Amino acid sequence: MPITTEPTGRQRTPQRLGDRVFSGASTGAGVLILAVLAGVAAFLLVEAWPAVTAPAEDMPGGEGVALYVWPLLFGTLLSALLALAIAAPLSVAIALFITQYAHRRVATTLGYVIDLLAAVPSIIFGLWGVSQLAPLTVDPTGWLAENLGFIPLFAGPASSTGRTMLTVALVLAIMILPINTAVVREAFRQTPRLHEEASWALGATRSEMIRMSVLPFGRSAIIGGSMLGLGRALGETMAVAMVLSTSGGVTFNLISNGNPSTIAANIALQFPESTGIKVNALIASGLVLFAVTLAVNMTARAVINRRREFSGAN
């Protein structure tokens, strides 16, 4: 990655001290970030390596590092994707309400409230999830197990504490709602007036105008915002660690006590009591999470950036 360019063609330009200090400082800051990222990656690789090469029976579970990490990765993906499935439609609806339907004062207030959600520490969500939300889900999940138990997601037996994958997904959905909504709302707000008027002038109602002009314009922002939210849900630690009751099995059953943990929550819960090769195993799982989150976030950025090409100017 070219961070500094050789000033070949600009040798003659007189260099002022202030300029040199300033460009040096900002280049340094840029390099620092890359160095930190590279350092983290290197640490993960080096520390994860012993877990990969260690004999299978030394791993927790005794079946090698891949089978150790797999249920955790499964739990991570399941909870995050489920949270996304709840949050994405909700954030589109909220963004539409704020940008298209609400009175300006209501819209501004609601916008602030949503942004405030982003500022709530995740431990608070964890506390709320385990002490308020989880008990509330007990009755509905019991009903689901009884009446919709033929769907594998609701196979049951329903947890009596409510500390289920479903509760975790709900908490995560609320946590990623702000970032999802913010990205989508900004895109909707920037819908070119020209395109909105094109719909209006054809005699579109507001909902038809939204379908013809606003949603197509915001489509990549919806995808990009969702993936940013997904990235956050994947890495969320405290809320999951506090809410989820785990037993390690890979299952799509969302409402029982026997859930796979997630990578981040598992590290937080296991790390204080781990020594030796078990630490390396945890770090190996962390490396997997690092790679997945990085990939999701990079894809999200790429999708959001692509939107600039199809601006209203054409």
Which residues contact another protein (rule: CB under 8 A)?
104, 192, 194-195, 197-205, 208, 212-213, 216-217, 219, 310, 312, 314
The single-letter code of the amino acid at 180 is: N
On whether the CB atoms of residues 164 and 255 are closer than 8 A, the answer is yes
Query: Which residue, 90 or 204, is less far from another protein as judged by CB?
Result: 204
Taking the least distance from each CB to another protein, the nearer of 29 and 201 is: 201
User: What's the closest the beta carbon of residue 305 comes to another protein, in angstroms?
Assistant: 17
Tell me the residue type at 208.
E
Q: Which is nearer to another protein, 148 or 194 (CB)?
A: 194
Q: For residues 153 and 198, which CB has a smaller minimum distance to another protein in the complex?
A: 198
Q: Which amino acid is at 226?
A: S
- At position 42, the amino acid (one-letter code) is A
Output 249 or 312, the one with its CB closest to another protein: 312
Least separation in angstroms between residue 184's CB and another protein is: 17
Cα 261 to the chain's mean position, in Å? 17
Q: 96-123 in b/e burial notation, b at 16+ Cβ within 10 A?
A: bebbbebeeeebeebbeebeebeeeebe
- What tokens were used for 141? 């999940």
Nearer to another protein, 24 or 312 (CB): 312
**Least Å from the CB of residue 147 to another protein:** 37
Closest CB to another protein among residues 15, 109: 109
- Of 45 and 204, which has the nearer Cβ to another protein? 204
Looking at beta carbons only, is 112 or 310 nearer to another protein?
310
As measured in angstroms, the least distance from the Cβ of 312 to another protein is 7
Query: Within 10 Å of residue 210's Cβ, how many Cβ atoms?
Result: 21
Least distance (Å) from another protein to the CB of residue 213?
A: 7
Rounded to a whole number of angstroms, the minimum distance from the CB of residue 160 to another protein is 50
Report the nearest approach of another protein to the CB of residue 208 (Å): 6
Q: CA 39 to CA 298: how far, in whole Å?
A: 19
Least distance between another protein and beta carbon 247 (Å): 47
CB of 110 to another protein, least distance (A): 18
